[in-house]
Amino acid sequence: MKTLSENKCFGGVQGVYSHESTATGGEMTFAVYIPPQAKKGPVPCLWYLSGLTCTHENAMTKAGLQAHAAEFGLAIVFPDTSPRGEGVANDEAYDLGQGAGFYVNATQAPWAPHFQMETYIATELRDLVQAQFPVSIHHGITGHSMGGHGALTLAMKYPSQYRSLSAFSPIANPSQSDWGRKQLGAYFGGDESLWTAHDAVCLLKEKGWVEDILVDQGADDQFYDLLKPEALAAALAETKTAHSFRLQSGYDHSYYFVSTFARDHVAWHAARLK
């Protein structure tokens, strides 16, 4: 692991690091915020997965999570959204390929050799963070848009790994949305029965989630129809999953929305991870 930068931040340290990934077959960059409470011992860890076109840097610089993490004593991990670099497949469109990994393990060419983001996030990077940073075994996960999709699906696939779950405007039902059908078709092929394993609404009905879930959705989100929040709300009710689903009047899909409700999410996770 290489240290690219470390800066003092709200009494803690905001660092950016890189390492060679076995899962993705190349160098990956990620960021970790360690709060001041870690000086006394390991702290719980919150994972923040970002949306389409983002890197580790977007939420790190725009979401304002560090102040809240320092207040509540949580570490925060900001992974990248896809593999990158020479030899890694890409597409001219912003919503496929580099910057649009969708947190899945692709099975189709040309994506399969590098786009193994599910394994990378849930296993490889988790093990690295656990070994290299002062974090406890108690982890939670959240994310925005495509990252909200990733948070919901990974938590339901790996329930022993995550003790708390939330999402900001997640792509909730990608197998039924133009933000999903294109990507799932590319990464897994035309058999739509394979797509449901990467769809939060379908996973909730199949696997469920034993704890509660916090979801914030902007009522004026310009991508509302692509996100399918009504399908997620219906699935939460149908499966009788404890949840707080908050439709926030006047808010859109931007980081202004995320930063407005960031403290609520950090507090939510802190209460469940401690």
If you ran DSSP here, which 8-state letter would residue 54 be given?
-
Q: Which candidate, 8, 58, 62, places its Cα nearest to that of 30?
A: 58
Could you give the CA distance from residue 99 to residue 111 in angstroms, rounded to a whole number?
Answer: 13
Q: 31 is written with which tokens?
A: 């960021």
**Rounded Cα gap, residues 229 and 237, in angstroms:** 12
Distance CA 69, CA 259 (A): 13
Which is it for strands 75-78 and 26-34: parallel, antiparallel or unpaired? antiparallel
Q: Beta-carbon neighbour count of residue 21 at 10 Å?
A: 21
Separation CA 3–CA 13 (nearest Å) = 12
Tokens of 248: 């926030």
Alpha-carbon span 269 to 274, nearest angstrom: 8
Q: Take residue 261 and report the two structure tokens written for it.
A: 């409700």
- Annotated catalytic residues are 145, 221, 253
Asked if 46 and 54 count as a contact pair (C-beta separation under 8 A), the reply is no
In one-letter notation, the amino acid at residue 44 is P
Place of tokens 């930063």: 259
What does the DSSP 8-state code read for residue 210? S
Token reading at 211: 């704890």
